[in-house]
Structure 1
Amino acid sequence: MKWLRRKDEQLIEPSIKEQQSEKLQQLGLQLASLRQEQGLSLDELVLLTKIPRRLLQAIETGDLNDLPEPIYVQGLIRQFADALGMKGAEFASTFPIGSQVVNLPTTWKPKPIDQLRPVHLYLLYIFLIICSVKSLSQLLNNQALQASNNQLQIESQTQSGLTPEQIQSQELQQIQPVSDTVSPSSDIQTVEIGVTLKSSSWIRVIADGKTEFEGVLPEGSHRNWKASQQLTVKTDNAGGVLMSVNQQEAKEMGKPGKAGEVRIAAKVKS
């Protein structure tokens, strides 16, 4: 290693850059000489080492400016020497790399330590468990309260001595008053009704004591029924059913969403 002298004759150690340049020239000359002795061209070394030709040439000529960072240069020298039959690792170890830190590209960024503390995760788990328990408890309480109210209502109606069928009929009458019997004109012998659905509704039609229809009719459908004595129409959605008697103007059976019942008697000609 060459030492530099200042004007005051004090010896100064060369910088790491100067040491690397000087050492690279020495190693490059040895590699170039050995390659030529073995009769190999740089292009043949490219095939053996998979190193670009310009880098091999820069090593032989000691051109540090055309080479990557020193730590990679040391690896290139080792591969070059191995291809020529030398102990590459031992040969390249004489090339100084200093205390250089290589910054490798990465997309990972460390998170703050306090974000990864187990106590925070523990508290988060506790909070989630408490919220889940509260929601489940509220849901169960609401279902229990609803079931209790239904049971009390059934018990109170049972105590009154009514059968389930009578209770259902009573509820239907409480929801929507049953219309009185509608008498058609005095000059007809039979009665005819026409039903048009404003919205899908359940309907039961009884003609002369016989059920002619029971089921759900879709919105927009229209049906007619006749009877010689009496027609009875029941529905669970009085506001969604338009009913006409003997082709008169159609009217709603009642309020939307409410149950309704209409009985129409036929009147014989006098």
Structure 2
Amino acid sequence: MKWPTKKNNHQPSLLLEQQRSEKLAELGAQLLALRQKQGLSLEQVVALTRIPQRLLQAIEAGNLNDLPEPIYVQGLIRQFAEALGLNGVEFSGTFPISAARVNPQDMGNISPLNQLRPIHLYFLYIFLIICSVNGLSQLLNNALLQASNSQNQPYSKQKSVAKSEPTQPKETLKVQPISDRLSGGQQGQAVQIGVTLKASSWIRVIADGKTEFEGTLPEGTHRIWKAQEQLTVKTDNAGGVLMSVNQEKAKEMGEPGKEEEIRIAAKPKF
């Protein structure tokens, strides 16, 4: 006598969980490798994405149990990927959220909205709000940067015309032409500056008339720029920026919270 077998209704959900776990491990490993390749720490990624460090660690480790609902996990992966320069939507789109299958015969009677539970709609609503706030914040930051640039342009023109009254940098960082030892060899010896962030600050770097960088760098960041003739560095938080010229001892650009602009030029050749 054969006893009737009982169907396992939990098998599809277990299969979906396994797919999510395997995909998270794959995506997390890729993000970890790319972050280390770019020389970024988790603290710097936290400053860029505003995602708690424990969630970033869980993504890199592929630990699905320490992460929220799958729809949130996909959003976190998207932000993480965009912070590293990837296409966040395309990269996170491979993470499975739902594996619900619909019988083709019932397609005419089933609406996608009918399959969503109230709790799913609530999570989706919260996710859309978060995305909208992030987008609005980026638009406001871009508008502020454009306004700041438009205000600084007339000031720069006045400084170039009034050459008889050159501005001098603060005593905290004395900028001099590059030494004879560095410029006395081949023509076109580069001028080099090193910048280390004591606190998160906005910085703009212009090398030989070309803007090399403009944006906000998080605390602990270290960058190096070179130019053949002149380097110009401007910041809105002079006390939070340590700058070294030609590998000399680094000094603060000025007072904390104050705007400062410093120009470093190579020693002219006669």
Question: Considering only CA atoms, is the larger Rg found in Structure 1 or Structure 2?
Answer: 1
Q: TM range, normalised to the smaller chain?
A: 0.3 to 0.5
TM-score by length of 2: 0.34
